[in-house]
Structure 1
Amino acid sequence: MLASDYEFDAAEVRRQASVIARQADHMDALLDDLNLSFRLRADALPLTRESVDLIELVRELAVELANDPRSEGREVVFVEPAGGGVLTAEVDSSMLRRSVMNILVNAAIHNPAGTTITTTLGRSGASAYLEIADDGVGMTAETRGRLFDRYYRGTSTGADVAGTGLGMAIAKQIIDAHGGAIDVSSASGQGTTVRLTLPLLSS
């Protein structure tokens, strides 16, 4: 406890202000995630669907992650569908971007520098799939089984890893709302692959 007559010098004031600002940003993010998660669970967030080129959307997000400070030291690779072509789906672009970005950031912040994060798009019948794979630390069976639980942060998540514990739950809720599916394969020391599938727009 500080004495009542203690005076902070200018450097201490700046440090304290920085801490308060970070805490405020974290609370804003938490409230935003809580609001979105509850609205998705209650089907109270109508999707604004439009025809979206999934290749361009995922390419843009891969570039965004590569330039995000949270992925510093990680390599981000984007792999287009084999054989070219287009993958068009009727989705809420803003919500889908949020879902995919949550997964990409999760791969970055839970793995060390030197990890490669690869996004691969493809077609399987009437659906598109997106695989987000990393060659990082992998997950325990417990973490893999609870990855999409609200507030769960994993058995190996350090205290220095910022987050609300809602990112992956929200990612799944958004994919579910689009009639898609999401699953994960991982093992400790063997990296992680998250696979999303979404129905394609009928030609």
Structure 2
Amino acid sequence: MNLQRRLILANALTVIIPLLITVLCALGFIYVTGKIAGTEQTLKNTQEMTQLTFDLVGSEESILRRNPERIEDPSFQNQLINRLAAVDGEVTALQGDTVLFSSQKLTKIDVAKLLATSGWFKQDTITLGNQTYSVQPLDLALATDNQESTSLFFLVPFDPASFNLKNFIIFCAIIFVLAFIAANVYMSRYFSRGIVFPLNNLRKAAKEITFGNLNHEIVSEGDKELRELCHDLERMRIQLKNSVHTQLKYEDNRKMMITSISHDLKTPVTSIKGYVEGLLDGIANSPEKKEKYLRTIYRKAEQVDTMIDDLLLYAKLDLNQIPFNLQITNIEEFLMDGFREIEPEMERNGIIMHFKSELKGTCEIPLDRERMMRVIMNIIDNSRKYMNKEDGRITLYVRETHSSVIIEVQDNGSGIPDPEVKQIFERFYRSDQARSEIKGSGLGLAIAKQIVEGHEGRIWAISRVGEGTSIVISLPRG
């Protein structure tokens, strides 16, 4: 149920329920007063009088309609008196203000009271003596030839205490007010539970979030609008929690980056300082030695420059500041171009290169050719750096699945210990033994991971110590 329907239903019920209760109580009031004061007998008498009226003038075939002169017949008058007597009633006939006949003695005041109630089928009550009667007057002016009108009055005893309209109205009003108040209280409590309880829970959740507790779950409950609000706030809480977690992770990464940069820059800078001091102190006292010192300083400066370039590239990739220029590329031709480019350098380092394609036909996928080539070159160069065997081999594989293209660079080098395999794609990660022996920024594989993920692909490593390492790249087929 939505909030609008709930409010409409609550407002409708707060009126309908009191009305139903009032009607039931009114019927009960009538029934009880009827039992106590004999109202049932009064109703029966009234029904008998109504039937008598219908028999006399109710239709064209009725007695006084067919033969109005019978009103003056003593035997007919006695019949009327006897029939009214059966219900403790009285009958009186007036011609003008003169009494034609009557079942009781009437004074002029009583006659005036009767005349005040005359009219076609007009019912009223009058008090004659100590008795109150319900009056059924019949105007027979049209039924006689006399110039003065003739009226017939049927009187049935009536007890005013049997049904007091004023008391009945007051009773109904009191019942309605009490029922209305009770219905409002009940409906407010019943229907507000679907609104107040969820709002209280939201208030508690907001308080927890204010205190920094982002693990307090916001449960969707209540009406449709409130459930949607709870759902949106829960999503906001999760996003805020993830944002805080990401921020803390970035902060940890920033600290690690600063530590790693300091560590990796310290070695070449220290070397540069040492060789510069050697030149200043005159240790390099020959042209050959000076040239050697200067060349070493240059190489160390180039190493620092490379590290800074890689760091800037990684930062831009991490912040998505470098757009990818994707082009539909024949993947086999692309890898062959890279293979031919790097093969001579590998041969100079005593490493044999192999290229194996398991593609069933032409395979084209969207690539940023320049950046993906950098990924392949970085992986192969890493294999060269960590090659510890004289018969070194690096094999470049390409194969395909239904939804992706798999590129694998496999070597037979030193391998990576199991605990470190998942860490090699982290920025600045290098094993402690490699830090002083292997040149580089430590960002090569981290940059490779950023580029592959920018292509909506995946990259992972499989390695065995002493046997070699495989770096696997999975790229979607577009």
TM norm. shorter chain > 0.5 = yes
SS in 1 for 2:438: coil
Q: 1:71 to 1:122 in 2, by over 3 A?
A: farther
Matches within 5 A, 1:28-107: 28-68=305-345, 72-83=349-360, 85-107=361-383
SS in 2 for 1:157: helix
SS in 2 for 1:121: strand
Residue equivalent to 1:168: 445
Residue equivalent to 1:21: 298
Could you tell me which runs of 5 or more consecutive residues in structure 1 were left unpaired when the two chains were aligned: none
**1:187 corresponds to which of 449, 454, 464:** 464
Q: Could you report, residue by residue, the CA deviation over 1:57-102 in whole angstroms, capped at 9, with x for unpaired residues?
A: 211222222222696111110112243x122111111110111111
CA distance in 1, matches of 2:385, 2:303: 16
Contact kept, 8 Å, 2:284 with 2:293, in 1: the verdict is: no
Q: Could you report, residue by residue, the CA deviation over 1:171-198 in whole angstroms, capped at 9, with x for unpaired residues?
A: 1110001100011111211211111011
Q: Could you report, residue by residue, the CA deviation over 1:93-113 in whole angstroms, capped at 9, with x for unpaired residues?
A: 111011111111111110123
Structure of higher CA gyration radius: 2
**2:395 corresponds to which of 85, 101, 118:** 118
TM-score of the aligned structures, taking structure 2 as reference length: 0.40
CA distance in 2, matches of 1:55, 1:9: 53
Structure showing greater relative contact order (alpha-carbon pairs closer than 8 Å, 6 or more residues apart): 1
Shift of the alpha carbon at 1:8? 2.4
CA distance in 2, matches of 1:6, 1:148: 42
Q: 1:142 to 1:111 in 2, by over 3 A?
A: same
CA distance in 2, matches of 1:33, 1:70: 26
CA distance in 1, matches of 2:398, 2:346: 24
SS in 2 for 1:62: helix
Q: Could you report, residue by residue, the CA deviation over 1:12-46 in whole angstroms, capped at 9, with x for unpaired residues?
A: 11101111110121122111101110011101110
Residue equivalent to 2:385: 109
Q: 1:9 to 1:45 in 2, by over 3 A?
A: same
Shift of the alpha carbon at 1:143? 2.4
CA distance in 1, matches of 2:432, 2:294: 31
Aligned residues: 200
SS in 2 for 1:173: helix
Q: Does 1:10 align with 2:287?
A: yes
TM-score of the aligned structures, taking structure 1 as reference length: 0.91
Structure with greater strand percent: 1
SS in 2 for 1:67: helix
User: Residue 385 of structure 2 aligns to which amino acid in structure 1?
Assistant: I
Q: 1:82 to 1:4 in 2, by over 3 A?
A: closer
Contact kept, 8 Å, 1:51 with 1:89, in 2: the verdict is: yes
SS in 2 for 1:89: strand
Contact kept, 8 Å, 2:455 with 2:475, in 1: the verdict is: yes
- Structure 1 window deviating more from structure 2 (34-43 vs 132-141): it is 132-141
Contact kept, 8 Å, 1:71 with 1:109, in 2: the verdict is: no
Matches within 5 A, 1:126-165: 126-157=403-434, 159-165=436-442
Q: 1:176 to 1:6 in 2, by over 3 A?
A: closer
Q: 1:5 to 1:151 in 2, by over 3 A?
A: closer
CA distance in 1, matches of 2:366, 2:381: 24
- Structure 1 window deviating more from structure 2 (74-83 vs 113-122): it is 74-83
Give the root-mean-square deviation of aligned CA atoms. Answer: 1.9
CA distance in 1, matches of 2:370, 2:464: 31
SS in 1 for 2:415: coil
SS in 1 for 2:376: helix
CA distance in 2, matches of 1:186, 1:40: 27
Identity of aligned residues (%): 25
Could you tell me which runs of 5 or more consecutive residues in structure 2 were left unpaired when the two chains were aligned: 1-276
Shift of the alpha carbon at 1:133? 0.8
CA distance in 2, matches of 1:137, 1:44: 36
User: Residue 107 of structure 1 aligns to which amino acid in structure 2?
Assistant: S
Shift of the alpha carbon at 1:136? 1.8
Structure with greater helix percent: 2
Contact kept, 8 Å, 1:70 with 1:105, in 2: the verdict is: no
